[in-house]
Amino acid sequence: MKTKLIIAVTLSLFACRPWSGAMAQGSPSADKAAGDIASAARVPLASLDADRRGRLVFDFKDDAQRRRWSNLPTGIVKRAGLRMGDLTQPQRDAVMALLAAALSREGYEKVVGIVAGDEVLRQADGGGRLAFGRDEYYVSLLGQPSSTEPWMIQFGGHHLGLNITLAGDQGTLAPSHTGSQPSSFELEGKLVRPLGREVDQAFALVHSLDEGQRKQAILGFEMRDLVLGPGRDGQTIQPEGIKGAALTGKQREMLLDLAGEWTGILHETAAKAKMEELKAHVAETWFAWSGPTAKGAAAYFRIQGPTVFIEYAPQRMGNDPTKHIHTIYRDPTNEYGSKWGKR
């Protein structure tokens, strides 16, 4: 695709208020997070008639809806909830303002970048043969918005499946999928890499390992996709690679910073609490690598600890797997916020 076409497509995308205006607002302060998120959720609810409210809001105990998410295009895996392309502009604004409230500034920008890339892909696909693009994202709520009781926001489509469970200032994204295709594109003359920090930090970490550490970290086989991607809830695998106890202090910090690219998607209060938890378990957290270590190469990596499971997997299709990325974030102790309420 020519650069001018890419810029034209993405400028058109970002010209809509829900993809740019909310970004500038940033995230709420910690003491206001729970109330602000709940209040933001009530705005789109108030704009809907009874039929659409019924399609947006599910019972918090509805496990079928809770697990009805995927990284695949909506034309392949049907979603429930409300389709963004079927909403009015003010309603789309309100949904994106809700995400801006629930996520950190960086997390919101990541979501915007993933959706922008999917719009580029829609144009390359000839207008949406496989239901790509910003209209093909769905939003749903499980439970009623609350500053104290558990409830959930789901937002996703192709290469994005956010499952945001909230309970007061506590929150988790587990499980959630972030991906990117294309992994880089141009917007207003600038390079956009929705998952670029993850890539850069991972290569920095593997390059920091000495020869003995690399022998432990690098797997002796090729990983071709996510092991515990969408649809693998409740499953586990044995840790592999190098354990945090075998890393230097600086390398442990690098490992935590890398994990923070996923945990830090959520608003600051919840993200900070999760990072403190990861720090407490960093010696028991494993880092595994599969593939070449030359910067920019197509390599898989995994972070696995008592309360975190992260995978990053280039997709082995087409001529350049680095252009198509899948990732998963899980917490085996708190999937869908299981710590905070019986369902």
pTM: 0.90
By percentage, how much of the chain surpasses pLDDT 70?
Answer: 88
- For position 2, what pLDDT does the model report? 37
- For position 17, what pLDDT does the model report? 39
Name the residue ranges covered by the structural domains of the chain: 3-191, 195-340
- For position 6, what pLDDT does the model report? 37
- For position 25, what pLDDT does the model report? 43
Residue 41 has pLDDT above 90, yes or no: yes
60 or 15, which is more confident?
A: 60
Contact between 301 and 312 under an 8 Å Cβ cutoff? The reply is yes
pLDDT of 256-287, one tens digit each?
A: 999 999 999 999 999 999 999 999 999 999 99
pLDDT of 308-329, one tens digit each?
A: 999 999 998 777 899 999 999 9
- For position 92, what pLDDT does the model report? 97
**Crossing angle (nearest 10°) for helices 249-263 and 196-208:** 160
Residue 23 has pLDDT above 90, yes or no: no
- For position 342, what pLDDT does the model report? 60
